Amino acid sequence: MENNLFNLNYKVKVLDNFLSEEDFSELCNLKIDQNTNKEFNILHNEINNNGIIKSSIDENLLKRLHKNYHDRAINILRELNEKKVELYEHSDFSIIVTSKNSKFPIHDDIPNKLLSGVIYLSPQKNSGTSFYNDKKGSNKTNIDWKTNRAVFFSRKERETWHSYEGDGFNNRVALVYNLVTSKIKDVFRIENKNYFFGNLRLKYNPYIHKFFKTTI
């Protein structure tokens, strides 16, 4: 399945069977702490064309993921927002365990993320990702959970609103795959958005979420 959702104000690309059987199986079989006392458990990994920056998993697996999917991810970004391709610096491959009762509020993603992606790993059934046309949650569109389904979009300040949560029964394990930059001013220039106010949101949202479970 390959699908673009046209009932939103922005494009979301959905790709089934995104990972090869070998890569999907190896990721699913990683020994990951699924401590239910935490809302989120994150194994953070960073890599670029010059090599590994940070690794929490087997380095050979990380290198293989970058080799196998980098060109494809760049092409997806080119389709969604071609001007951002030149800003690419490195890739994040983070494995995130979301506890069964956790809930992440509606947000639009930080400007460092040129391409935001998630690939659902396990279990077989859980809750997927919800997308909206505004922060109030209008025109809610759900992307159902399906193992090895990838969901990609190129974030845009105060436009690409989305959220996710546990299903109340099982922890949710996903591979978050982002193409990343540190050139924030250039991101806001391309998006034709105000850098000053966007940077304030970037600075204070982590604290607002920590204490109030929301974002601005």
pLDDT tens per residue, range 140-174: 999 999 999 999 999 999 999 999 999 999 999 99
> Tokens 């800003």 sit at which residue?
87
Nearest to 66 by CA among 109, 95, 113, 23: 23
Domains of the chain: 2-182 (2.60.120.620)
> Considering the chain, what is the average pLDDT of its residues?
93
User: At residue 7, does pLDDT exceed 80?
Assistant: no
Give the tens place of pLDDT for each residue, 192-214. Answer: 999 999 989 988 988 888 788 88
Identify the pLDDT of residue 47.
Answer: 97
Give dist(CA 59, CA 15) in Å, integer.
26
Give the tens place of pLDDT for each residue, 97-124. Answer: 999 999 999 999 999 999 999 999 999 9
Q: Say whether 50 sits in a helix, a strand or coil.
A: coil
Identify the pLDDT of residue 1.
Answer: 54
Give dist(CA 97, CA 95) in Å, integer.
7
Nearest to 97 by CA among 129, 66, 122, 61: 122
Q: Are 46 and 54 in contact (CB under 8 A)?
A: yes
- pLDDT tier, 91 (very low <50, low <70, confident <90, very high otherwise): very high
Nearest to 118 by CA among 175, 156, 191: 175
Identify the pLDDT of residue 208.
Answer: 87
